[in-house]
Structure 1
Amino acid sequence: MPVVILHDSTLRDGQHAVRHQLDRTQIGAYAAAVDAAGVPVVEVGHGNGLGASSLQVGRSKISDDEMLTTAREAMPHASLAALLLPGWGTTGDVRNAVRLGVDVVRVAAHCTEADVTERHLGAVRELGAEAQGVLLMSHMASPGELAEQCALMAGYGAQAVCLFDSAGTFLPEDVAARVRAVTAAVDVPVAFHGHNNLGMAVANSIAAVQAGARILDACARGFGAGAGNAQIEVLVAVLERYGYRTGIDLRALADAADLAEETLMPAPPTVDSTSLVSGLSGVFSGFKKPVLAAAAQHDVRAWDIFVELGRHRVIAGQEDLIPDAARAVAAQGAGR
């Protein structure tokens, strides 16, 4: 069986669940624990990536520099990764991140807009770091379209390409079809990042590997936006049951997950009704908290706001449309 590389995004995607308020102590302790467990790549930063700390999507408790430096100092073995979304982050942020010790930079775009990643992927390669291309909200494109977009990113210099199930809406057969199409179109490793809104994140990740993916994203206790991500300690255990090799010490990883539950999160994520409708509607999992706030303000159901957002095919980065959707639901008379 081939080796599967795990990317632990607890300290980046998990930030969505705590309004980006992780501090130095929390980041340093968890980074040290997963480094000791042999996790090969650890992604750190604001939930929306480099340069994203803002009033619109939430201010981080500490700066990008502090987060990256803290994690780098705590990890003598693991590669340090960062996410960048053009429009939030700049090539200047890329240069600064690499200077601070980032080894892998993932440049992300909406699933049909790979062309916006060209300059940033080129900058990562020029700086000597590993460049990876990410397609967000990948359920909004067909397998063939995703293959074309991933081929573009590989042409721009991406050394791996990743499909994010940002809304947690896929079933295993959806993932398999897309991963097969992408692996046939590119000569670089394919990655998959699953969310758990329908309770399928681990199953979808296994489907991705069986279809040819060689990199999987996951988080301790599933810590992440909405209903959370694939649960890394469970995913590693299941991969081992299937015979895949990860190079991770599962016992030490379980200890790191216990630490994460104790120190990073108010409670492990669950598939509640809000997360469920997010997955059914195909709406970004990170909208959960602002949708709940808008529902309370306008005295409407969060479920109905998600349905309205899904009807308009709203994507990550369009948080400013949530109040409009809440007002539209209120005008329709769909109160609590």
Structure 2
Amino acid sequence: MKKIEILETTLRDGSYPINFSFNAADTSLICKELETAGFRYIEIGHGVGLNASNQGKGVAAQTDEEYMVAAEEVLKKAKYGMFCIPGIAKIEDIDLAAEHNMGFIRIGTNVTEVPSSKEYVKRAKEHDIFVTANFMKSYALDAQQLAKKVALSEKYGVDVVYIVDSAGGMFSKDIEEYYEAIRKVSDITLGFHGHDNLGLAVSNSIESAKMGIKFIDSSLQGLGRSSGNASTEILIAALLKLGFKLDIDFLKVLDIGQEYIQPLLTNKGVMPLDIVSGYAEFHSSYMHHIQKYSSKYKVRPELLIIEMCKINKVDLDENILRAIAKKIKKEEHLYLGKYAFNRYIGREQDE
């Protein structure tokens, strides 16, 4: 089996469901524990990335620099990194990262907006920082189109390109199509970041590793945005069972997840809107708009998600969403019948 790297993202992506409340002490402690367990790539900080607290994306418990210091002071072997979305992050944030010996930086753009990463990649490479290009909402492009974006990122100088299942709606065959198309134009190192809206994050991660994708993201207990990520504990168990060679202490990982992350979990079960988001490939960052117009026009939010994604899976235009809500309200019986939601109509009438 080819060697893979598990990039542990609990302290970054896992911060979403706990309102970005990991503090400096948490960061230091969990970073040290993860390093001891054998992880070599540990992502920290605000879930949305550098400068997000200053851009109205939710205020994290610490500043970016405080997170950097917390990781820098305790890590001896592992690299720590942070997320960076051009337009939210300032290019000067990369200079700050370099001052604190950041080992890697993940520059995330919607897959349709890769050119916006160019200057950020250039600045990071000037500081000799390891750079991944994370193609958010990868599913918005077909395999050949995405492969062209990979060639563009490679030209900019990135070290790794990530296929990102932002809505947790991909199947392994989709990832394989992307992989094969990319390999026709580039031999760049690839990564996969999966969400679990359809319960496929671990299996998709395993299939990615089997087909030759080197970097796989996961988080302890699957903690993450929307339905969460591939569970680090389950992923490692499955990979070891399949014969992958991992320099990671499996039992130590189980202990870290149980001691530090399990107490943060709320047993909410599987949320319907998360499942529908995976079905339609809808990014949860726009959910507040869905709730707004669902409430205003008294239509099911599931229908708004599905119909909006038929038009655009990358961005959400409120004018378009408003028009969809009005149309659904006018012809609600047709939409409900189409998705077999009409069973709810009878139930409500009986009540």
Q: Same fold (TM over 0.5)?
A: yes
Verify the 8 A CA contact 2:221 2:262 in the aligned structure 1.
no
Match of 2:338 in 1: none
Pair 30,165 (structure 1): closer, same or farther in 2 beyond 3 Å? same
Greater Cα shift, 53-62 or 101-110: 53-62
Query: What displacement does 1:9 show?
Result: 0.9
Match of 1:103 in 2: 103
Query: What displacement does 1:244 show?
Result: 1.3
Query: What displacement does 1:259 show?
Result: 2.7
Pair 17,258 (structure 1): closer, same or farther in 2 beyond 3 Å? same
Match of 2:335 in 1: none
Pair 233,291 (structure 1): closer, same or farther in 2 beyond 3 Å? farther
Give the 3-state SS of the residue equivalent to 1:169 in structure 2: coil
* Larger Cα-atom Rg: 2
After superposition, the CA RMSD in angstroms is: 2.5
Aligned length: 332
Structure 1: tracts of 5 or more residues without a match: none
Match of 1:29 in 2: 29
Verify the 8 A CA contact 1:294 1:323 in the aligned structure 2.
no
Match of 1:92 in 2: 92
Verify the 8 A CA contact 2:293 2:325 in the aligned structure 1.
no
Distance 1:101 1:21 in 2: 23
Query: What displacement does 1:82 show?
Result: 1.1
Give the 3-state SS of the residue equivalent to 2:112 in structure 1: coil
AA at the equivalent of 1:271: V
Verify the 8 A CA contact 1:308 1:329 in the aligned structure 2.
no
Give the 3-state SS of the residue equivalent to 1:86 in structure 2: coil
Verify the 8 A CA contact 1:183 1:213 in the aligned structure 2.
no
Query: What displacement does 1:121 show?
Result: 0.8
Match of 2:125 in 1: 125
Query: What displacement does 1:99 show?
Result: 1.2
Give the 3-state SS of the residue equivalent to 1:241 in structure 2: helix
Distance 2:321 2:260 in 1: 35
User: Does residue 165 of structure 1 match 2:161?
Assistant: no
Distance 1:24 1:230 in 2: 24
Match of 2:279 in 1: 280
Verify the 8 A CA contact 2:55 2:88 in the aligned structure 1.
no
Query: What displacement does 1:193 show?
Result: 0.3
Distance 1:39 1:168 in 2: 24
Match of 1:198 in 2: 198
Give the 3-state SS of the residue equivalent to 1:190 in structure 2: strand
Distance 1:25 1:207 in 2: 35
**Per-residue CA distance 1:106-154 (angstroms, 9 max, x = gap):** 1111112221111111111110111111111011111111111111111
AA at the equivalent of 1:278: S
AA at the equivalent of 2:93: D
Verify the 8 A CA contact 1:168 1:198 in the aligned structure 2.
yes
Give the 3-state SS of the residue equivalent to 2:12 in structure 1: helix
Give the 3-state SS of the residue equivalent to 1:74 in structure 2: coil
AA at the equivalent of 2:325: V
AA at the equivalent of 1:303: E
- Aligned positions of 1:1-336 closer than 5 A: 1-54=1-54, 56-263=56-263, 265-267=264-266, 270-288=269-287, 291=290, 295=294, 300-315=299-314, 321=317, 325=321, 329=325, 332-333=328-329
Query: What displacement does 1:286 show?
Result: 4.0
Pair 69,324 (structure 1): closer, same or farther in 2 beyond 3 Å? farther
Greater Cα shift, 295-304 or 115-124: 295-304
AA at the equivalent of 1:275: D
